[in-house]
Amino acid sequence: MADEFVQSLARGLSVITAFDAEHPAMTLSAVAARAGLTRATARRLLHTLVELGYVRVDGTDFALTPQVLRLGTAYLAGLGLPEVAQPHLAELSARVGESTSAAILDGDDIVYIARVASSHRLMRVGITVGTRFPAWATSMGRVLLADRPGDPLADVELRPLTPRTVTDPDRLRGILADVHTHGYAVVDEELEVGLRSIAVPVRTADGVVAAVNISLNAGSQDPETHLDDLRATATAISDDLAALAR
C-alpha cells in the first residue's frame, strides 16, 4: 500500500540494481543518472552501502562487493526441485514440441512436481502438479523404481491399465534391470492407449532424486530420438541443484 512504501529503501535498491555486467564500476554521477537520483541522494546511499559492506569505492569509482550475493541467499535457499526443473522442462518442450514432466516417487506411485503441456492433448485425464500414477506403469516410475534398493516390486499390486500393461512380476523386474543398466525407460501404451513416453533420472550427490520425461502420441516418432535432449535437460537440472547446494 502507498502509505507503507519506504522510499529510501526503494532508492537504495535502485542504486544496487544500477550496476550490471556492462557497468560493474561507476562514478557518482553515473550511478545517479542510471538510478534516476540526484547526486546528493546517490552520494548518501552509496556511502551508506559502503559502510554496510555492499559497495566499495576505489578513487572516484564505486562497485558492488560479493556481499550483495547475501541478498539472494534466502530466495535461492527456498528454491526446490519443482522451481529448478520447470524452466528446463519449458525449454525442452519448446525444443521437441512435446509435453514434458518431472516426478518423484511416493510409495508405489509417482507424483508430478512440474509439468509443461504441449498444445496437443495426449491423455484423457488432465495432468497437473500433484497428479499420481502407478509407478510401475510409467516411464518416470520405472526409472525411479530401478534405483530402489532391494526388490523394487515388493508388495506392489500389479494390475492391467491397458491391454499392453506389463503385469508379470518377473518380466517387469527384467525391464527394471534393463532400465537400471541403460539409464532410461520407454513405456509404450501401458498407462493409456495412444500414449508413449521416455524418461531419464535426475541425479544429485544423494542419488536419483526425480525423473523427467517426454510424452508423445503412439503414432509419432520413436521416443528414443529425444533421448539426448532429455538427458541434457536432466543434467542441467542436476547441475542447478548442485549449484544451489553449494
**Whether the predicted pLDDT of 49 surpasses 90:** yes
Select from 73, 104, 131 the last residue of a domain.
73
Quick one: pLDDT at residue 178?
A: 96
Quick one: pLDDT at residue 6?
A: 82
**Whether the predicted pLDDT of 78 surpasses 90:** no
Mean pLDDT of the chain: 88
Quick one: pLDDT at residue 198?
A: 96
Helix (H) or strand (E) holding 62: strand 61-64
Mean pLDDT of 76-102: 86
Residues 135 and 156 in one domain: yes
Residues 67 and 174 in one domain: no
Select from 27, 57, 73 the last residue of a domain.
73
Residues 165 and 95 in one domain: yes
Number of domains in the chain: 2
Question: pLDDT band at residue 206, thresholds of 50, 70 and 90?
Answer: confident
Exposure class string for 21-35: b at 16+ Cβ within 10 A, else e:
eeeebbebebbbebb
Q: Centre a 10 Å sphere on the Cβ of residue 189 and count the other Cβ atoms it contains.
A: 16
Residues 154 and 221 in one domain: yes
Task: Give yes or no for a contact between 184 and 227, defined as CB atoms under 8 angstroms apart.
Answer: yes
**Tens digits of residue pLDDT in 109-161:** 999 999 998 866 555 566 788 888 999 999 999 999 999 989 999 888 899 99
Q: Centre a 10 Å sphere on the Cβ of residue 174 and count the other Cβ atoms it contains.
A: 12
Full-model pTM: 0.68
- Using CB atoms within 10 Å of the CB of residue 158, give its burial: 0 to 12 exposed, 13 to 18 middle, 19+ buried: middle
For 170, the domain range is 79-245
Select from 58, 73, 88 the last residue of a domain.
73
Q: What is the CATH number of the domain that holds 197?
A: 3.30.450.40
**Tens digits of residue pLDDT in 184-201:** 999 999 999 989 999 999
